[in-house]
Chains A and B, each alone.
Chain A
């Protein structure tokens, strides 16, 4: 099925460890996004990529880096994990050609930092 695939689904890290969250889409979308979801906070944008070769900071970029590897793939890296980064992370993609298209979301990565 076409869509957005995120790996892994679950991860536990120790404080200070690093990891990369992977995201791939097969809809030939131009734009890709990383959000985090925390209780009572809704979804907050971490980074986005408007098109292949470009990335920009969102609302909460500190402690994260991203790579738009190609048009399909957009990864999120935590260089030195902290307990405050315990969250559910969602990747999304969109056609990016107009405001009416909305996003397609992956199923999320639940990350716990201990």
Chain B
């Protein structure tokens, strides 16, 4: 079956530091890959996505590249801000065979950015 493994947190960084959150996946087909972000007390929001190998998703200064050879989709940001403090979820979407595309999530990585 499908699975997503992401680095465990929490991760604490100083403002303007470089961020990497590792994510690797196992899938039987050719999935699409996503990063979602959850701010305190809110639901999940789509941060970025990539639908095929070597695609790079980007948004709000965050980037992730779909690496089929290493089955990875690591999230990076060059300079984090206090407002980036949130929980980040890596996910993959694959055909469930039942007419819908189910998302499989990693367990989430909590990021805290301190001034």
Q: Which residues from chain A sit less than 8 Å from chain B, CB to CB?
A: 4, 30-31, 33, 40-43, 45, 48-51, 54, 56, 58, 90, 92, 94, 96, 98-108
A-B pairs with lowest CB-CB distance, top 8: A50-B100, A42-B107, A100-B51, A105-B43, A50-B99, A99-B93, A99-B32, A31-B100
**With A and B bound together, what is the CA distance between A79 and B20 in angstroms?**
43
Contact (Cβ within 8 A) B44 A96: no
Task: Report if A108-B43 is in contact (Cβ < 8 Å); known contacts: A42-B105, A103-B103.
Answer: yes
Given contacts A106-B43, A107-B42, A107-B43, contact A101 B101 (CB under 8 A): yes
A76 shortest CB reach to chain B, Å: 15
Tell me the bound Cα distance from A96 to B108 in angstroms.
24
Number of contacting residues on B, CB 8 A?
Answer: 26
Question: What is the bound-complex CA distance between A69 and B30, given in angstroms?
Answer: 32
Cα A58 to Cα B104 in complex, Å, equals 11
Known: A99-B93, A105-B43. 4 other contacts (CB 8 A): A51-B99, A102-B34, A102-B103, A107-B42
Whether B43 contacts A48 by the Cβ 8 Å rule is no
Q: How far is the CA of A99 from the CA of B28 in the complex (A)?
A: 13
Q: Which residues of B contact A105 (CB under 8 A)?
A: 36, 43-45
Question: Looking at the complex, which one of A40, A101, A106 makes contact with B107 (CB distance below 8 Å)?
Answer: A40
